[in-house]
Amino acid sequence: MLQEVLQSLPQVLVDGLTLGAVYAVVALGYTMVYGILQLINFAHGEVFMSGAFIGTAFFILIMGMGWAAEIPQFILLIIVLVLTASITGLVGVGLERVAYRPLRNAPRLIPLITAIGISFILQDVVRFIAELFNGNYIVTGPSLFSEQITLKASSISSIFFDARIKTSFLIVLGVAIVLMVALDYFVNKTKWGTAMRAVALDRETASLMSINVNKVISITFFIGSALGGATGVLFAVQYGTIDPYIGFILGLKAFIAAVLGGIGNIRGAMLGGMLLGLMEMFASANLSLLTGGVFGAEYKDVFAFAILILVLIFKPEGLLGKPTAEKV
């Protein structure tokens, strides 16, 4: 049995890292907003999904123009990423303005409810637009970076099987890492990043220090949503087919990743995302094997939630978070 697990390990690692990178960047959006507003932005998964659709639309649009065929794929990707991220970033800012800001002093239940509502609205608006233009809300984008590479894991040791990867795997992983490094730099080294951390620590004191809290919150939403949208594009490139409902469960899992890493903690979200991706892929490849066929891969979502519950019970502050006591 161990042998079989090992054989599939290279492929599990490759798939797990890809998925983990997606979780990690989406988790950043949750963790940043939570850190600053103590709000679970349920709609973030839908921002990610909108990013996937907007990105795909851009790809189709640009590649439909004859001359665009000359553009190298990589440049094209960068252009689409930037355009999409800007749009979803603005969507995020608008969302905060309309749905969360008026409720900042409301009971905590209320903004959660608007968040769910917004999430539904986004899903349905995207469904509607996709259906209108495409005839079907399940959309398949142009295939990019689709050359297959074989990772010769068996040449390292014969206990491994080879792993097969699409070039897009490297792109997804590479871009995700660049995004994460850039964000880490922004938060820790720039003026606005410092302001952001200050607001997260203590909103009132920060505003007394003449930090424009509303602006900081808007920036947080912009960055979080831009990252989410960009990840949506990467997702579309990697997996090809998208529908308006991909964001919900994926968003939940990204949130789980954020909790796993320590909510409010940016590096924690990255770590949590990667770990969750790897664990999930491992589970879906091996659950059936390990449980003698009782549980199959269809339980992989159950697995993610089980992780969430275990973390909340045994280490509620997450892997990299610090325990806090509520001031009374």
Partner 1 sequence: MKAKLASYFSNKWLQVILFSLFIIVTSAALYFSQKSVVSFLLLLSSLLILHYMSLKNVTKWITALGLLFILIPFASSGGPAFQSYMEVATMVGIYISMALGLNIVVGMAGLLDLGFVAFFAVGAYSYSIFATKQASNFMPFGNFPLGGESFWGFLIIGGIMAAIAGVLIGVPVLRVKGDYLAIVTLGFGEIIRIIFNNADRPINITNGAMGIASVTPPEIFGITLSFPNQFYFVTLFILMFTIFAVLRLEHSKLGRSWKAVRENEIAAQAMGIPLVKTKLLAFALGASFSGIMGVVFAAKQAFIDPTSFTLMESFTILVMVVLGGMGSVPGVILGAAVITILNLQVLTELTNWLNQLSLSGALSIPDALSPAKMQKFIFGALLVVFALYRPKGLIPAKNKIFDVKKLKDHRPDHLNNDTEKDSVPIDKVQV
Ligand X SMILES: Nc1ncnc2c1ncn2[C@@H]1O[C@H](COP(=O)(O)OP(=O)(O)OP(=O)(O)O)[C@@H](O)[C@H]1O
Q: Which does 117 bind (CB under 5 to 8 A by kind): ligand X, partner 1, none?
A: partner 1
Residue 316 interacts with, from ligand X, partner 1, none (CB under 5-8 Å by kind): partner 1
325 is an interface residue for ligand X by CB under 6 A? yes
Q: Least CB distance from residue 325 to ligand X, whole Å?
A: 4
Cβ distance to partner 1 smaller for residue 151 or 311: 311
Among 194, 312, 269, residue whose Cα is nearest residue 25: 269
Q: Between 257 and 271, whose beta carbon lies closer to partner 1?
A: 257
Give the position of tokens 């950043």. Answer: 28
Nearer to partner 1, 208 or 294 (CB): 294
Least distance between partner 1 and beta carbon 225 (Å): 17
Q: Which residues contact partner 1 (rule: CB under 8 A)?
A: 38, 40, 99, 102-103, 106-114, 116-125, 127-128, 131-132, 248-249, 252, 255-256, 259, 293-294, 296, 298-299, 301-302, 304-305, 308-309, 312-313, 316, 326, 328
- In the complex, least distance from residue 97 CB atom to partner 1, rounded to whole angstroms: 12
CB 255 within 8 A of CB 318: no
208 binds ligand X (CB under 6 A): no
**Of 321, 204, 198, 306, nearest in space to 258 by CA:** 321
Between 20 and 244, name the residue whose CB sits nearer to partner 1.
244
Give the nearest distance from C-beta 328 to ligand X in angstroms.
7
Q: Work out how close the CB of 183 gets to partner 1 at its nearest, in angstroms, rounded to a whole number.
A: 23
What SS3 string covers the chain? Answer: CHHHHHHHHHHHHHHHHHHHHHHHHHHHHHHHHHHHHCCCCCCHHHHHHHHHHHHHHHHHHHHHCHHHHHCCHHHHHHHHHHHHHHHHHHHHHHHHHHHHHHHCCCCCHHHHHHHHHHHHHHHHHHHHHHHHHHCCCCEECCCCCCCEEEECHHHCCCCCCCEEEEHHHHHHHHHHHHHHHHHHHHHHHCHHHHHHHHHHHCHHHHHHCCCCHHHHHHHHHHHHHHHHHHHHHHHHHHHCEECCCHHHHHHHHHHHHHHHHCCCCHHHHHHHHHHHHHHHHHHHHHHHHHCCCCCCHHHHHHHHHHHHHHHHHHCCCCCCCCCCCCCC
Which listed option, ligand X, partner 1, none, makes contact with residue 38 (CB within 5 to 8 Å by class)? Answer: partner 1
Binding partner of 327, given ligand X, partner 1, none, CB within 5-8 angstroms per partner class: ligand X
The smaller minimum CB distance to ligand X, of residues 141 and 321, is found at 321
In the complex with partner 1, the residue whose CB is nearer, 114 or 220, is: 114
Nearest to 95 by CA among 46, 139, 128, 132: 46
Question: Which option in ligand X, partner 1, none does residue 325 bind, with CB closer than 5 to 8 A by kind?
Answer: ligand X
Q: Which of 189, 191, 322, 327 binds ligand X (CB under 6 A)?
A: 327
**Is the CB of 145 or the CB of 299 nearer to partner 1?**
299
Q: 72 contacts which partner out of partner 1, ligand X, none, CB within 5 to 8 A by kind?
A: none
Which lies closer to ligand X via its Cβ, residue 205 or residue 212?
Answer: 205
- List contacts with ligand X (CB under 6 A): 325, 327
